[in-house]
Structure 1
Amino acid sequence: MEARHLRYAVALAEHQHFGRAAASLGIAQPPLSTQIAALEREVGERLFDRTSRGVVPTAAGEAFLARARTALAEMRLAGVDAARAARGETGRLRIGFIGSALLDPLPGVLGRFRRTHPEVRLSLQELDSPTGTAALLDGELDVAVGRGSPRGAGAEDLITVPIGGDHLVAVVSVAHPFAGRRTIDAEQLAREPLVVSQDAASSYLRPLFGPDPAALETATMARDIHTIAGLAACSAGVGLGPSRMRLITRKDIRFCDVTPRFRLPDLRMSFRATDRSPVLAAYLSVVRANCPKVGSHLDDLLARHPSAVAGAL
Structure 2
Amino acid sequence: MEARHLRYAVALAEHQHFGRAAAALGIAQPPLSKQIGDLERELGARLFNRTPHGVFPTAAGDAFLSRARRALTEMSAAVVDAGRAARGETGRLRLGFIGSAVLELLPSVLSRFGREHPDVRMALHEMSSARGAAALLAGDLDIAITRGAPRGAGAENLVSVSVGQDRLIAVVGMGNPHAGQGQIHVDQLRAQTLIVAPPEEEPATLATICELLGERVLPLGGTVEARDVHTIVGLAACGIGVGLGPSCMRRAARPDVRFLDVAPHTDLPPLVMSYRAGDPGPVLGAYLDVTRELCPNVRGLR
TM-score per shorter chain, which class? Answer: over 0.9
The whole-number CA distance in structure 1 between the counterparts of 2:279 and 2:141 is 11
Give the C-alpha shift of residue 81 in structure 1.
0.4
Give the C-alpha shift of residue 36 in structure 1.
0.9
The whole-number CA distance in structure 1 between the counterparts of 2:188 and 2:91 is 51
Q: SS at 2:124's partner residue?
A: strand
Unpaired segments of 5 or more residues in structure 1?
303-313
Check 1:80–1:125 CA distance in 2 against 1; reply closer, same or farther (3 A cut): same
Percent identical pairs in the alignment equals 60
TM normalised by structure 1 equals 0.92
* 2:300 counterpart letter in structure 1: L
Equivalence map 1:85-164=2 (5 Å): 85-164=85-164
Give the C-alpha shift of residue 216 in structure 1.
6.4
> Alignment partner for residue 269 of structure 1, among 261, 273, 276?
273
Higher helix share: 1
Corresponding position of 1:167: 167
The whole-number CA distance in structure 1 between the counterparts of 2:146 and 2:172 is 25
Equivalence map 1:1-313=2 (5 Å): 1-198=1-198, 199-200=202-203, 202-211=206-215, 213-215=217-219, 218-294=222-298, 297-299=299-301, 302=302
Give the C-alpha shift of residue 275 in structure 1.
3.7
Give the C-alpha shift of residue 44 in structure 1.
2.3
Q: Deviations over 1:77-101 (max 9, x none)?
A: 1000000100001100111111111
The whole-number CA distance in structure 1 between the counterparts of 2:279 and 2:208 is 30
Q: Deviations over 1:87-141 (max 9, x none)?
A: 0011001111111110111101111100111111111101111211111111111
The whole-number CA distance in structure 2 between the counterparts of 1:203 and 1:259 is 17
Runs of 4+ in 1 over 6 A off after TM superposition: none
The whole-number CA distance in structure 2 between the counterparts of 1:246 and 1:65 is 66
The whole-number CA distance in structure 1 between the counterparts of 2:63 and 2:250 is 68
Count of aligned pairs between the two proteins: 298
* 1:76 counterpart letter in structure 2: S
Give the C-alpha shift of residue 260 in structure 1.
0.5
RMSD, aligned CA: 1.4
Say if 2:210 and 2:218, in contact at 8 Å, map to a contact too.
no
TM normalised by structure 2 equals 0.95
Check 1:67–1:169 CA distance in 2 against 1; reply closer, same or farther (3 A cut): same
Give the C-alpha shift of residue 298 in structure 1.
2.3
Q: SS at 1:166's partner residue?
A: coil
Comparing 35-44 with 139-148, greater Cα deviation is found at 35-44
* 2:230 counterpart letter in structure 1: H
Q: SS at 2:30's partner residue?
A: helix
